[in-house]
Amino acid sequence: MSLDRSTPAPRRYWPLGQLILCRIREFVREPEAVFWVYGFPILTVVALGIAFRNRPVEQIQVDVADQRGNTPGVVAALKVDERFVVTVGADVDWRRRLRTGKTALVVVPGDAPGAADEYWYDRSRPESVLARSATDDILQRAAGRVDVLTATDRAFDEAGGRYVDFLVPGLLGMSLMGGGLWGVGFVTVDMRIRKLLKRFLATPMRRSDFLAGIMISRMAFLIPEVLVLLLFSRLAFGVVIHGSLWTMAALILLGAFTFAGIGLLVASRAKTLEAVSGLMNLVMLPMWILSGIFFSSDRFPAVVQPLIKALPLTLLIDALRSVALEGASLAGCWSQVAGLAAWAGITFLLALKLFRWN
């Protein structure tokens, strides 16, 4: 009996690769998903970068009461400094403006040059306190005060010291968290609801192949997402990465795997979109508030700092900012790297143990 050598050999079954290709095809066919992954982070950078851009010196609104003899001298002294916008008004006018917040400070001049002035302001308003200090400094110098030390003011506007430089690593971490939880956890539950997971169960695919395929397919969307965000920040706002780009890439990949593992764990048992949405918000909301996306997490009380520093988003953002703003190496971020690796490994192993196809 002879064998037919013309019969082609069966192709090797590779479930992991097929699942990755399937996820990529699904993603590119959904314009809404493409927008939220690539467009939304750019719009966020534009909006916040414009809102917190470096602005010219802020002007100080000061009213001078037009009821005593030294009013012209006070007005002339203040107008020497271009920061001050001076308005002269009667008693009823400046009281109304101060009450409605249209002026930061009211100066009631003394009856004659050299007589004591009165400052009316709201001590609970920071801008009023600053206006009082600046106004008193100008009037004291005009009255003849001589400073013992002469200081020189210099403007600092270097890349790396602006709010937008601080913001971009935070937005990058937020994007990685959202992509990991929504792009992995939400998708997995959606496939369970559409009974697709039961079909996978009937194939020779192992559970580890499926979970790894979901996580790796997320990496395929991650690279262009990060490149678009960093490139736009560089071209539009001059954001510079002071550390190694390879270190940034390693941290981004580690952060993506960490949040993909958390997303898989959240979706391991959830059977409805409402359930997984609630779980994801429960996981993400504390990190949105505490992890320092838009401001430093050091602002929170010291008693909660150990908890905040242990959150995966805090670990990721702190490491990204250390590299981007301070030029730190991967070894210099070893505590954050170890923490992220622990989160990634533990959550993936728990998801592998708890995952159910239906």
Q: Which pLDDT tens digit goes with each residue over 142-176? A: 888 777 777 766 666 665 667 788 888 988 888 88
Long-range CB pairs of 153-158, under 8 A, 24+ apart, other chains included: 157/54
Domain boundary among 142, 175, 192: 142
Helices 207-237 and 334-354: crossing angle in degrees, nearest 10, is 140
Residue 213 lies in a domain: yes
% of the chain at pLDDT higher than 90: 11
Residue 343 lies in a domain: yes
The residue segments making up the domain with residue 111 are 60-142
Domain boundary among 142, 170, 188: 142
The predicted model gives 92-104 an average pLDDT of 85
In this structure, are 294 and 180 located in the same domain?
Answer: yes
Half-sphere exposure of 179 (CA within 13 A, CB side): 34
User: pLDDT at position 1, please?
Assistant: 47
In this structure, are 199 and 317 located in the same domain?
Answer: yes
Residue 153 lies in a domain: no
In this structure, are 348 and 283 located in the same domain?
Answer: yes
CA distance 182 to 30: 14
In this structure, are 198 and 298 located in the same domain?
Answer: yes
The answer to whether 60 and 134 have CB atoms below 8 angstroms apart is yes
Give the residue, 97 or 343, on which the prediction is more confident. Answer: 343
Could you tell me whether strands 105-108 and 118-120 are parallel, antiparallel, or unpaired per DSSP bridges? antiparallel
Question: In terms of pTM, does the model score above 0.75?
Answer: no
In this structure, are 109 and 41 located in the same domain?
Answer: no
CA distance 202 to 205: 8
In this structure, are 36 and 67 located in the same domain?
Answer: no
Residue 147 lies in a domain: no
In this structure, are 47 and 121 located in the same domain?
Answer: no
Beta bridge mates, 88: 64
Asked whether the predicted pLDDT for residue 5 surpasses 60, the reply is no
Query: What b/e sequence results for 89-128 when a residue is b if at least 16 CB atoms lie within 10 Å of its CB, and e otherwise?
Result: beeebbeebbeeeebbbbbbbbeeeeeebebbbeeeeeeb
What are the C-alpha distances in Å from 7 to residues 11, 210, 293? 12, 31, 60
Question: Given pLDDT bands bounded at 50, 70 and 90, which one contains residue 189?
Answer: confident
Could you tell me whether strands 60-65 and 84-89 are parallel, antiparallel, or unpaired per DSSP bridges? parallel
Centroid of chain to Cα 108: 44
Residue 9 lies in a domain: no
Domain boundary among 82, 110, 142: 142
In this structure, are 82 and 220 located in the same domain?
Answer: no
Beta bridge mates, 87: 63
What is the H or E stretch that residue 118 is in? Answer: strand 118-120
Half-sphere exposure of 326 (CA within 13 A, CB side): 10
Q: State how many domains the chain has.
A: 2
Residue 72 lies in a domain: yes
In this structure, are 277 and 171 located in the same domain?
Answer: yes
Residue 151 lies in a domain: no
Residue with tokens 């429960």: 282
In this structure, are 46 and 73 located in the same domain?
Answer: no
In this structure, are 114 and 98 located in the same domain?
Answer: yes
User: pLDDT at position 128, please?
Assistant: 87
In this structure, are 298 and 323 located in the same domain?
Answer: yes
The answer to whether 1 and 191 have CB atoms below 8 angstroms apart is no
98: CATH: 3.40.190.10
Residue 65 lies in a domain: yes
**pLDDT tens, position by position, 198-240:** 777 776 677 777 777 777 777 777 777 788 888 888 888 788 8
The answer to whether 73 and 113 have CB atoms below 8 angstroms apart is yes
User: pLDDT at position 260, please?
Assistant: 85
CA distance 242 to 219: 24
DSSP 76-103: HHHHTSTTEEEEEE-HHHHHHHHHTTS-
Phi, psi (5° rounding) for residue 341? -60, -40
